[in-house]
Amino acid sequence: MTDLESDWSADSNEATHISLATPGHVLHTFNPKFTYPIFGEEERIFGYQGLKINLKYHASDMRPVLQVTYNKKFKAVGDTEPTDLKKILEDFLPKTAFEKTTDFEAAIESTSPDWEPPGELWKTIQSGAKTFEVWKGSLADMPIQQMVKRIQILVPFFIEAGTLLELREPEWSLDRWTVFLLYQKTTENHAPKTSPYTFIGYSTCYRYFLYQPTTPPSSPPAKRQQVVPASSHDITFPLPEIKFSALPCRSRISQFIILPPYQGGGNGSRLYNAIFDYFLQDPKTIEITVEDPNESFDDLRDINDLSRLRLDPEFAALKINNKCSVRAKGPIPSDIVDTDLLEKIRTRYKIAPRQFYRVVEMQLLSLIP
Ligand code: ACO
């Protein structure tokens, strides 16, 4: 790094501060994990000394205000100019983001205490004295879309290689997406004029066609829309004459984030299980999958899938066949466990084969004395 760069550049992860606020209070402030999708591979911002990028959110409706402060700004010399921060961040924030803290404060002061998250209430989860709610809605619905525009910058901030959703797609395509929002609801001891909702995290999920060429394959093309088993082909585009939301599908968790101050306390599990419960009762979902899970999401998924399956008497009663000995890698053979039974359990819980057999292996290993 040259002297010019070291004097005038800042680490973009350290310079960026995200806060959650209620009227007159800042609840939490934290830094992003990644900023390279926004400020470039080096994660450095040129042209400022004492730079602070403050992205403050109203903790309930997640309306943001963006404030950039610094002690000194570099005076452009030829092509060497300070990074245009507002221009760069514009692509990641809603057009309605406030620019002045005073406007933001006034807006959040006037938020009705009766404000409710967008979409519809899917689940209320009581955990000790704490109440959580999961709200859900289609990305084709305006209030959900507005929410996604406010919070989508969290994807590049916290998910490695995470990208923003394309919101300019036609309605049928947006309607493939369901957004789940996790909130904590304070029912006691909260200021009466403020909203009881605090945003904790969210997840986006989309539906994938399951397409089955008719059996036998010689059936006429008119039967194209006949669909189903998980083993059949995925189709990633709609057949024009078919109402997409009416078709059996795989439902895939795409982006999943719990805000850092709320991680490690079971919130990821609460949201994951609520999503899982939703797709389990959805008759159109044949299988629940996850797009590019990272290691921590794999852990979360394993722990929760195993806990769920252990409540099933047939799964809990699984035994390793005495005849079996140490085996090589590969699918679990039927001389070790009853594979027909396993397949019955797997389809009942809509878990994708690879994930299911991973969890079965965890269960079987836990049985070895
Ligand atoms: N008290 C204390 N600890 C608990 C409790 C509890 N009541 N309940 C669970 N835990 C433990 C779990 O056992 C687990 O332990 P571990 O740290 O040893 O693995 C840990 O807390 C995490 O479980 P949760 O608290 O349920 O999950 P969390 O809220 O931390 O969410 C997540 C996990 C989603 C990965 C979160 O860390 C996150 O959002 N990270 C940043 C974004 C990210 O990586 N998202 C996933 C990308 S992949 C994708 O999007 C498909």
Choice from 157, 271, 297, 307 to test ligand 1 binding pocket (greatest atom count within 8 A of CB): 297
37 ligand 1 Cβ < 6 A: no
Does residue 297 have its Cβ closer than 6 Å to ligand 1? yes
Q: Is the CB of 50 under 6 A from ligand 1?
A: no
Give the chain's domains with CATH numbers: 3-109 (3.90.360.10), 120-292 (3.40.630.30), 309-369 (no CATH)
Task: Using the predicted structure, report yes or no on whether residue 222 has a pLDDT greater than 60.
Answer: no
Tell which one of 31, 298, 300 to mutate to probe ligand 1, the residue whose CB is within 8 A of the most ligand atoms: 300
β-bridge partners, 179: 137, 204
> How confident is the model at residue 214, as a pLDDT?
59
Helix-helix angle 353-367:295-310, to 10 degrees: 70
Q: Confidence band (pLDDT; 50, 70, 90) for 75?
A: confident
As a 3-state breakdown, the chain gives helix, strand, coil percent values, each rounded to 5, of 30, 25, 40
* Exposure b/e, 171-202, CB count within 10 A at least 16 = b: eebbbbbbbbbbbbbeeeeeeeebbbbbbbbb
Q: Residue 290 CA: which ligand 1 atom is closest?
A: 51
Ligand 1 centroid to Cα of residue 268, in Å, is 5
Give the tens place of pLDDT for each residue, 279-301.
999 999 999 999 999 999 999 99
Q: How far is the CA of 297 from the centre of ligand 1 (A)?
A: 7
Q: Which residue has the higher pLDDT, 126 or 220?
A: 126
Least confident range from 41-55, 97-111, 237-251: namely 237-251
| Minimum CA distance residue for ligand 1 atom 21 | 264
- How many Å lie between the centroid of ligand 1 and the Cα of residue 201? 11
Residue in 269, 291, 301, 305 to alter for ligand 1 test, most ligand atoms within 8 A of Cβ:
269
Q: Which residue type does 38 have? A: I
Task: State whether the beta carbon of 148 lies less than 6 angstroms from ligand 1.
Answer: no
Q: What is the mean pLDDT of residues 13-33?
A: 97
**Global ipTM:** 0.91
pLDDT at 224: 41
**pLDDT, tens only, 152-201:** 999 999 999 999 999 998 988 899 999 999 999 997 766 667 899 999 99
Overall average pLDDT of the 75-103 stretch: 90
**Active centre residues (catalytic):** 291
